[in-house]
Amino acid sequence: MASKFRVAAWVVVGAITGIMATLQVQALARNTASPLPLEELQQFAAVYGLIKADYFEPVEGKKLIENAINGMVNNLDPHSEYLDKKAFKDFKESTSGKFVGVGIEITAEDGLVKVVSPIEGSPAARAGIHAGDLITRIDHTAVKGLSLSDAVKLMRGKPGTKVTLTVLRKAENRTLTFTVTRELIQVQSVKGRMIAPGYGWIRITQFQSDTLSSFVHKIDALYKEDPNMKGLVLDLRNDPGGLLESAVGVASVFLPDDAVIVSTKGQMPEANATYRNTPSDYLSRAGDNPLDTLPAGVKTVKLVVLINGGSASASEIVTGALQDYKRAVVMGTLSFGKGSVQTVLPLGPDTALKLTTARYYTPNGQSIQGKGITPNYEVDPLESGDPYAALRMREIDYKNQIGTGSEAADSSRVENDVRKQEEARRLLEAELQKDPNKLPKLPEYGSKEDWQLTQAMNYLEGKPVITAKHPANTAKAKTPAASAAASGPKTDASGATKNP
């Protein structure tokens, strides 16, 4: 019997090898950069055949191939992934701002799924799930080892169905269980209001297909409420990114016509591009330009951009452009540092490859990959400091992040910084085990208790800004005059988060 299985296995190997040889010829005919590695592909075919023949139970060939594709793609970098039928559908939903799920933004941490933040008004928020919660189990499935896409699949479903989430809340050193009813989530990516006479606050939570029109509508509404706007705060804290064209459009709101917003560099000719303040670069289809309705004052109004370690990708594009042109002062903490662009390449009607195709660069030619945007004013989230700093994961912490493109000069420094961060995280987690209530809760963005927003208002009103506290020094006040000014010299730009 075993010999029959092995004969069958080698028949499969022979068939696949023949296919590989055909692909080799086709690849050469298309003048690809390098020929397919035929010897390694033959080895892959041999492994496939042996699993089909010798594994203790039958395994579907489709499952084996999909697993192989996932392994090949997932090992490239943290943001490339194979999108099967369900994942591709979910991806399209996430960029439209509508999906059925529990309503949380998540990222990976220590093999588990970490809640970046519950979406306001969502089932998860109403159930009491908090930012920082680690999801350890979804219904009866352990999360350890699951990809983010697989975790999202388990949390998505039909409206009205229930899912049980088991979470570890480190701040309280306990495990909690939540049963959440799935519903259609309509993510409102833009919100804002006047926070004082003459001063507005606009927050973007994610760059979606309708973000630019919503952003312009909100600005128009604020100027109608107060035509003599003196200052504006653009809040991009914990904004994980989104669509590149939306980011280009938002930056264009504040910058001159034809100004360079961002450039990209990659292997493909089409990956080398420059995006400017021009309708063809920020509108997905021809039609009315939403920027035509903007009040003239928005081009010169005093502007502060708030960022933190959760500000990634598209939000870094906007921040980098406004900082490079000295159009805005950037305030908060160092951003996430995701300076790579993902392009969705369809593999058929239902599947696609989300592949990292380029690094992006600010107008001054600076790569943000692994570095992030450094604020002009470093301001902690609390007057007492940033108690959660050691627990935050940034792009540089990923072992397979793609680097800046000039790693040789700074690799030792980067490795040292990562080691220090890991040690600080370990020490803080040990302290939390002893005292679960050690860390205070952070204020809601836009509230009266929002310390970073208070400092942004201080800057806009010409008052001293209290900058970040560090172990080696105490908080110190900077006046706008004493501080350095902003420093100078369909593609997806999403960050490392997902919405289930």
Q: Which residues are catalytic?
A: 313, 324, 338
Q: How far is CA 107 from CA 135, 222, 227, 343, 500, in A?
A: 10, 33, 40, 20, 11
Q: What is the DSSP string of 66-108?
A: HHHHHHHHHTT-TT-EEE-HHHHHHHHHHHHTEEEE--EEEEE
- The 3-state DSSP class for residue 255 equals coil
Q: Report d(CA 277, CA 213) in Å as an integer.
A: 15
Which residues, in sequence order, are CB contacts of 415 under 8 Å at separation 6+?
A: none
Give the span between the Cα atoms of 499 and 104, in whole angstroms. 5
Q: What are the Cα distances from residue 83, in Å, to 73, 102, 135, 272?
A: 10, 21, 22, 24
Contacts 24+ apart (CB under 8 A), 190-194: 190/214, 190/215, 190/217, 190/218, 191/218, 192/218, 192/222, 193/222, 193/446, 194/222, 194/225, 194/226
Beta bridge partners of 378: 332
Question: What's 56's DSSP letter?
Answer: S
Three-state secondary structure call for residue 433: helix
Pairing of strands 329-332, 302-307: parallel
**Are the beta carbons of 228 and 198 closer than 8 angstroms?**
yes
3 state DSSP class of 281? helix
